[in-house]
Structure 1
Amino acid sequence: MSIGNSPEDDRPSTPPSDRLPIGRVLQQARIDAGLTVEEISTSTRVRIPIVHAIEEEDFSRCGGDVYARGHIRTLARAVGLDPAGLVEQYDAEHGGRPSPTAAAPLFEAERIRPERRRPNWTAAMVAAIVAVIGFVGFTMFKGDDSGSPTSHVAEGPAPAQKTTPKPTPPKPADPVPVPSDSAIAAAPKDKVTVRLTATEDKSWISAKASDGKLLFDGLLQKGDAKTFQDDERLDLILGNAGAIELFVNGKKVEEQFDDGQVERLSYTKGDPEVG
C-alpha cells in the first residue's frame, strides 16, 4: 500500500473518449451537408487555410482565442450545428475565458503615493514682517528730508505730450471647424450613413457600397473609427462584432453581438434596420 498520490493522479484530465475533437465534428458536419471547404469559405468569409487548420485541430492560425471562438461559431452555423457546445468544449480544452485583472494593485499604488508638500507658512510670515518694517523705516526717513530748502520754479503750461497711437493687434483668424462625432447626428436624410468604432478590442471589418464598390477592407484597432456613406445601401461584415459600437443614420444600434462573432449587415436610408 503506497502513501500519498500515485503519479497517475497527477496526469491532466482528458476529455471523454466519446467526445470527438472540434475540428473532426465540423469536418464531418460539412461532409454530411455536401459542402466543400471552398464553399464554406465563400459563405462564411473564413479563409480556406484557416478552415483546413481548424478541421485539423490547429487553432494557432486564428489569431487568438477570441477569433478562434468566432470562427467556431461561424463554421458551426454554416453546417447546421449548435455552436454553444463546441465553444464550451474549446474553452474547456484551452484554459477557458481569461479571468478579469484584479484591482488590488491599483489601490496599492494609490496608497503609496507620496504626500503633497505643505507650504511653509512660518517663512512666509517672517518675510512679510521684514517687508513691513522696511517700508515703515523708508517712509520715516523720507519724511525727515521734507524740511530741507527746495528751489521754486515758475510754473507754466505743461508742454503737450505727443502721444503715439498704440498699434492695433491683428485680428486672429477664425478657427477652422473640426468635424466631430456629433456630426453623425446630422446625417442627411437622402443618404445612408454608418459609423463604426472599435471600443472594446480590435476588429476586422469590410464595407461595400450599393454598386458593389469596396469602401474598406482591413483591421480597426481599439479606439479607431470609420464612417461610410452611400445613396442607397451599405453592406458590412464585422469580424469581431462584440467589439464594435455602431451608429446608423445618426442613431446607435442597440443590438448586442458576441465577442468574436462574425456578422453580415446591410443598412439603407431611414431608421437602423438589419438587412
Structure 2
Amino acid sequence: MSDLGTRLREARERQGLSLTQVALDTRILQQSLVALEEGAFQRLPGDVVIRGFIRNYAQYLGLNPDEMVELYRSERGVTDPIRVVPVTKPPSTRAYVLPSFFGVFFVTIALIGMSYITLNAVGRIGDRVTPIALAAPTATVPPPSPLPTSAPTLTPLPQPTPTPRDSFIAIGDPPDELDPSETTNTVAGGVDPDPVLTPTPAAPITIELVIPNVRGNENSWVRVQTDGNTAFEGVMRAGEHLNFSAQRRVLVRAGNPPDVLVTVNGIRQGALGPNPGQPVDWPWPPN
C-alpha cells in the first residue's frame, strides 16, 4: 500500500467525502482517484498529469500539495523523461519587389487616364445642358386698361381676422399624413431642442487564461466567475488556453497561481500569484 495513497484516503474519509463527490468537485475521474489512493500509478497517464492530480487532490483535501508531490516522487523514484523536440526552421523565401512595383505603376497610370476621360465627357455634357437650364421664360405684358372717366368710389377693405399663433391655414389639398418617426420637434423661433444624450454601454471585459507548455509548469485547478456566474471550474493543463467575457466583473481563483498567466482585453497582466500551491482570488477590475 502506498503511503501517499493512504494519506489521501484517510484525509478524505475524515472529512466524510465520497469518491463520487470528490470527482465532481475536482473534475478528476473516479478511477484516477482510486488509482492515486491505491498507489497504482501505472494505471494513470503520464508523470506530469499524475503530479497535477496529486496537487489538485491535496489542495482540495487541505493537505500540503508540495509535500504530497515530493512523497510521490520518493515512492515512484524515476519519473517519465521529457522529450525535447527540435524546432524546424521554415525555409526562407525571397520576395520579388520589382514585378509588384511595375504592376502598381501601370495600374496607377490606367486609373489616371480613365479619370481624365471621364471628367472631359462630363464637362462636354454640362456645356450643352447649362444654356437650356439658364434660359428664362419671356413675360407677356397685358395692354393698359382705359382710364376711368369718373372718380372711383373708395370702398373700405375688410380687416383681416387675426389668427392664433399656433394655428395653420390649409391651402389646397391637405398634406400627407406625416410619419411620427420622420418629424422633428422644434421650439419657438425655429431652434431645435438640445439632443438627448443616451449613455454608451460599457465595453465588455475579455479574459484569457493560459498555462504555457514549458518545462516546470504544472496543472492548476481554476474557477472563473463572470458577472457573478460560474463560467468554468476545473483543472487547466499545461498548454491549455481558456477565454471568457463579461460586462462588469470577472473573478478568477487558481490553486497554482504562478503557472497561470492572464491577459485582459489584449493586455498581459502576468501570473495570478507568486506562491506555488497557495490559492489566490484575482478580480478584474481590481478592488
Q: Which TM-score tier does this pair reach, normalised by the shorter chain?
A: 0.3 to 0.5
Highest Rg: 1 or 2?
A: 2
TM-score, normalising length: structure 1:
0.46
TM-score, normalising length: structure 2:
0.44
